[in-house]
Amino acid sequence: MTLMSPDSVTPTRVNLLNFDLDGLADFCEHLGEKRFRAVQLFRWIHQRGDPGACQFDQMSDLAKSLRVKLQAVATVSPLPVVSQHISTDGTIKWLFDVGDANAIETVFIPELGRGTLCVSSQAGCAMGCRFCATGHQGFSRNLSTGEIIAQLWFAEGFLRQHSQSHGHSDDRSDRVVTNVVLMGMGEPLQNYDALLPALRVMTCDHGYGLSRRRVTVSTSGIVPMMDRLAQDCPVALAVSLHAPNDVLRDQLVPLNLKYSLHDLLSACLRYLAHAPRDFITFAYCLLDGVNDGDEHARQLIQLMQTVRTHSRAGVGCKFNLIPFNPFPDSGLRPSSPERTQSFARILNAAGITTTVRKTRGGDIDAACGQLAGDIRDRTRVQQRMERLHRPRFLHQESAT
């Protein structure tokens, strides 16, 4: 088998990137093979760090009969790369074609001693958050497990091949991607059925072997799915908060109309009982004159009281302040560095560990909230947002 673009793949071939280990074992069984064969196959696919190693005929420790069957019915389909941009700070952004005029973005952020891959979960997003470029673009469709994993599979292979210090072995300590964050395009918990097997591939010892602490799902707060994630695969959780009260959050994150802050924070407390760390990270995008006043910081401290007192070790939360990354027609401005520092100081003084996120990849539009890919909006989110937010906007109403 050679690696093929989706166009050239026979439709009946099964893309093995869609399977977690259990799914692959089922598939092997379906082919008349023993389930344990899946382990070897899984390791070939996900641990070699070399896309070339995914040719079935080269999988030397697999039985010849299995290799022949796989060649006939299976494939490992990468996503075609539309473009690649490298920032002056080393951040890399890839645009992948997911068919039907949709493209999604993936960002690699190198740091000292670690490499974080920011992965997309949907083509677009239907949540319509006021300050988010993805939200403004609208929603096309969910990504499959294979499309979520293909981003990691490609990035790991590419980075290993292009990094001098990394060879082509299957030694896990060689991994270039040490952390994965589901913070690209889309609301991961709205695509739960595809997300869950993808998380299992990431955290499986025979897959990418990432600890649950090193895989973070970021959500705008889909409460029932937070509860399911806690049961099924409790990885690290980031919650996009952005406002300290319901009136303001209703406007910034429309999902708040369905799941209020009270519901959301109760879900956070339930999650904490299963979380791999003793805290949840709350993301808060600072918007000039909207949610960045001292009074908002004080309201946040009040709001977090329950989470902190009822959590293990009394920690419960950490705050990540995100400088707003403007995009065309957002109608919003970032808070000044002084305001940002003052906001952080108030939270820190109250004992809430707060950091200001460094903007990475800004020169290639790879920073938080700038990922827009290329989406065929099927939901008319764009029109709805324009209508909703046009005449009255938040600057007048933010102090509530």
**Cβ-based nearer residue to ligand SAH, 28 or 322:** 322
**Catalytic position from the list 33, 105, 156, 187:** 105
**Cβ-based nearer residue to ligand SAH, 74 or 149:** 149
Among 49, 78, 115, 135, indicate the residue that binds ligand SF4 (CB under 6 A).
135
Sketch the per residue contact string, 221 through 250, with ligand SF4: x for CB under 6 A, - otherwise. Answer: -------------------x----------
CB 256 within 8 A of CB 221: yes
C-alpha–C-alpha distance, residues 323 and 344, integer Å: 12
Q: Does 370 bind ligand SF4 (CB under 6 A)?
A: no
Q: How far is the CB of 325 from ligand SAH (least distance, A)?
A: 4
Q: How far is the CB of 256 from ligand SF4 (least distance, A)?
A: 11
Q: How far is the CB of 273 from ligand SAH (least distance, A)?
A: 21
CB 151 within 8 A of CB 116: no
- Residues forming the site for ligand SAH (CB under 6 A): 131-133, 183, 187, 218-220, 240, 283, 285, 322, 324-325, 368-369
Q: How far is the CB of 219 from ligand SF4 (least distance, A)?
A: 8
The two beta strands, 92-97 and 81-86, are antiparallel
Which range touches ligand SF4 (CB under 6 A), out of 1-9, 47-55, 131-139, 339-347? 131-139
Q: Does 129 bind ligand SF4 (CB under 6 A)?
A: yes
Sketch the per residue contact string, 140 through 179, with ligand SF4: x for CB under 6 A, - otherwise. Answer: ----------------------------------------
Q: Which residue has the tokens 């319901």?
A: 246
Query: Is 268 a residue of the active site?
Result: no
Residue 156's binding partner among ligand SF4, ligand SAH, none (Cβ under 5 to 8 angstroms by kind) is none
Q: What residues between 30 and 69 interact with ligand SF4 by CB under 6 A?
A: none
Q: How far is the CB of 287 from ligand SF4 (least distance, A)?
A: 13
**Cβ-based nearer residue to ligand SAH, 208 or 282:** 282
Q: How many residues bind ligand SF4 (CB under 6 A)?
A: 11
Query: Is 338 a residue of the active site?
Result: no
Residue 18's binding partner among ligand SF4, ligand SAH, none (Cβ under 5 to 8 angstroms by kind) is none
- Phi, psi for 129 (deg, rounded to 5): -65, 140
C-alpha–C-alpha distance, residues 400 and 396, integer Å: 10
Q: How far is the CB of 311 from ligand SAH (least distance, A)?
A: 20
Residue 297's binding partner among ligand SAH, ligand SF4, none (Cβ under 5 to 8 angstroms by kind) is none
Q: Which residues are catalytic?
A: 105, 368
Per CB under 6 A, residues contacting ligand SF4 are: 125, 127-129, 132, 134-135, 186-187, 220, 240
